[in-house]
Amino acid sequence: MESKNTVSPRLFMLLGAATCLALGFTFGKKMGEITPSAVDHAADLIGLSFSPAEKDSMIGTLNNQRNRYESLREYTLDNSVSPALVFNPLPKGFTPDQTQNPLEWGMDEQVALPEREADIAYLPIHQLASLIKSKKLSSERLTKIYLDRIKTHSDTLQCLITLMEATAIAKAKAMDAELAQGEYRGPLHGIPYGIKDLLAVKGTKTTWGAMPFKDQEIDQTATVVQKLDEAGGVLVGKFTLGALAMGDVWYGGVTKNPWNLTQGSSGSSAGSASAVSAGLVPFAIGTETLGSIVSPSTRNGVTGLRPTYGRVSKNGAMALSWSMDKIGPISRSALDNGIILSVLNGADPMDASSIQAAFNYSAKSDPKKLKVGYFQEFFKGDDAGSKNNEEILDLLRNQGIELHPVTLKTSVNPSAIQLMLMVEGAAAFDELTRLGWDDQLVAQHKNAWPNLFRAARFIPAVEYVQAARQRTVLIEEMHALMKDFDIIVTPSYGGQQLQITNLTGHPALCLPNGFNENGSPTSITLLANLFDEEKLVLMGDYIQKNSDWQDKRPPLFDR
C-alpha cells in the first residue's frame, strides 16, 4: 500500500542532493574555508532553494512525520534544554586543572581621570576599575556617560534592542554606596556592560534578533548575567544579533560597523562588537558557534575571547547548537577579557555541558617562557591583511620570542562535521519550522535559516552519529597538535582553523592588528590548549602592551 506521507520524487531528489552537498559530505577544503564574507553569509556556502509549493509540501510532510511520534513528548521542550551529548567534548584522559590560585591582574593603581567624556568612555576596564576603586570616578557618572552615548549613537549603528536605563542607574548608585562603606567586589565593581540579546534577563524581552520572538519574555536570568551582577557589573542594555545567531541582519535592520557605516557589523554578535567599538560600553558579552565572536571582533576592531567549550555556562542563552555554542567577552583588551572570563568561569548545575576548571592568570608570569607556534602556510600573501599578520610575527621575534612553524592537518574533513550544527539548529527551532513562524524571519533567501532548518530534518540520524564520531577523532588530533605548544598564532581566517577549533572546543583570542587598504580593521588570532585561556590573555596582553592597534577609535564616534 502506498503511503500518503511521501515526498514527491523531484522534491526528494532535490532534498537529498542539497542536503549532501550543502552540509558537507562532498565539501572540499576550498569550499569549506571560512572567510570574513562567508561568516557574514555563512549559509551562502550552501546552494539550495525551494519554490512555495515545495515549501508547503515539505512542511506538510514534516508535520505528518511529527505526528507519528508526538505522543512521545508530553510538552514542548524549552530551547535551552540541552540533549545528552553524542560525543565526548574532552580528549581521552584529559582533565582540566581544578586548583584555583589567587588572581593577579597587575593593574595600574595611579590612573589619571581624563577630562573629555569620550576619553573616559574609551578607557579599558582595567583602568576604569582603578578610577572607580580610588573614587576618582563614580559608577553613576560612568554609567550615565555610557547611557548618553548609547542614546546618541545606537540608532545610527542599529545596535540596540533594549536600553535598561533605570535599573542601570539604580545599580550604579548601589555600587557607589557599597564602595563608600568600604565594600569592593573586584575589578568589575560599578563597570557598565551590555549583552547580546539571546541572553535572558527576567523582566525584559529577549528577542533572539528574530521577528517571531521580538516580544518574547523569558522568566529567568542567564547564569552569566547573574555572575556579572554579583561581581558588581552594571547592565545598561541588550544589543542586537543577526536573527537566530546568523549574520548582522535582525528584525530591525542591519547593525553597522562604526568604522564604515555602509558596512554591516558582521555577526552574529553584531551589536556587542559594534557597541564596544563605538565606545557605548567598555565590554559586552557575545556568543560563538562558528565565528560569531571572531568575525565581528575583526570587523569592528575590538578584542574578542572565545572560551573553551564548557568553561562558561550557557544556562539562559538561546541554543543554536548545544554541542558548539560558547559564550565569551568582547572588550578593548586581552587583559579586560581575562578579568571578565574570571567572573564567567565555572561549572553550573543548570548546564550539564559546563565543566569546572581553574583560571589562573598572573601578571607576574613571563610570556617569553611560553612555547609559541604559528601556522606558517596561512601567512602567505601580499595583501594588507597578510602584511598585518606578518607584523605580529615580527613583533614577537623582535621581543625575543622563538616562533615554531606548525602545519594544521587533520585526517577528517571538518566541513562535513558541520552538519551537526545544522541538525541541532533544526532541533532547537523545531516549533519555528513546524508552525510556519519562519515566514516572519527577515532573511528568506535560498540559504537563510528557514531553508536550512527544513533541509536538515532530512539528514539521517545515522549520519549525525557518524559525524559525531569523526568529531571525536578531530578533537583527539587537535589535542595532539596543541599539547606541544602554549600558543599558536594564526590569521583569523587562515585555512580551516576557525571551523576546526569551533568543532573541537579550543579557545581563541582575536586581536586587532591594523587596517586593510579600505581602512577596515583586520585581526590576528591566538589559539591555546583546552582551558588554557590564561596563556592567551598573557600573550595577548604582551602584544597589546607593545603595540597600539587596540587603541584606535572610529573617528565618527571619538567625540
pLDDT score recorded for residue 89: 84
* The one-letter amino acid at 147: L
* The one-letter amino acid at 102: P
Q: Which positions are annotated as active-site residues? A: 196, 268, 292
Sign of the CA dihedral running 477, 483, 484, 490:
positive
Taking a C-beta distance cutoff of 8 angstroms, is the pair 300, 274 a contact? yes
Q: Exposed, middle or buried, 274 (CB in 10 Å: 0-12/13-18/19+)? A: buried
- CA 268, CA 250: separation in Å to the nearest integer? 10
Question: What are the grid coordinates assigned to 53, written together?
Answer: 509549493
pLDDT score recorded for residue 382: 82
Choose among 264, 189, 288: nearest CA to 232.
Answer: 189
- CA 257, CA 429: separation in Å to the nearest integer? 29
Which of the 8 DSSP states describes residue 508?
A: E
pLDDT score recorded for residue 190: 98
pLDDT score recorded for residue 26: 34
Burial per residue of 451-481, b for 16 or more beta-carbon CB atoms within 10 angstroms, e otherwise: bbbbbbbbbeeebbeebbebbbebbbbbbeb
319: left (phi over 0), alpha (psi -120 to 50) or beta: beta
Choose among 510, 549, 545, 551: nearest CA to 527.
Answer: 510
pLDDT score recorded for residue 81: 79
Rounded to the nearest 5°, which phi and psi values hold at 453?
-65, -40
449-456 and 419-428 helices cross at what angle (nearest 10)?
A: 100
pLDDT score recorded for residue 37: 53
- CA 345, CA 310: separation in Å to the nearest integer? 9
Q: How confident is the chain (559 residues) per 10-residue block, as mean pLDDT?
A: 40 44 37 46 40 60 54 62 74 95 96 98 98 98 98 98 98 98 98 98 98 97 98 99 97 97 97 98 98 98 98 98 98 98 97 96 98 97 90 98 97 94 96 94 90 95 95 96 97 97 98 94 98 98 97 97
Q: Under 8 Å CB-to-CB from 293, ≥6 apart: which residues?
A: 269, 286, 287, 304, 305, 306, 326, 328, 330, 510
* First and final C-alpha spacing in the chain: 74
Max CA distance (Å), the chain: 83
DSSP-derived pairing of the beta strands 372-375 and 487-491: parallel
pLDDT score recorded for residue 9: 40
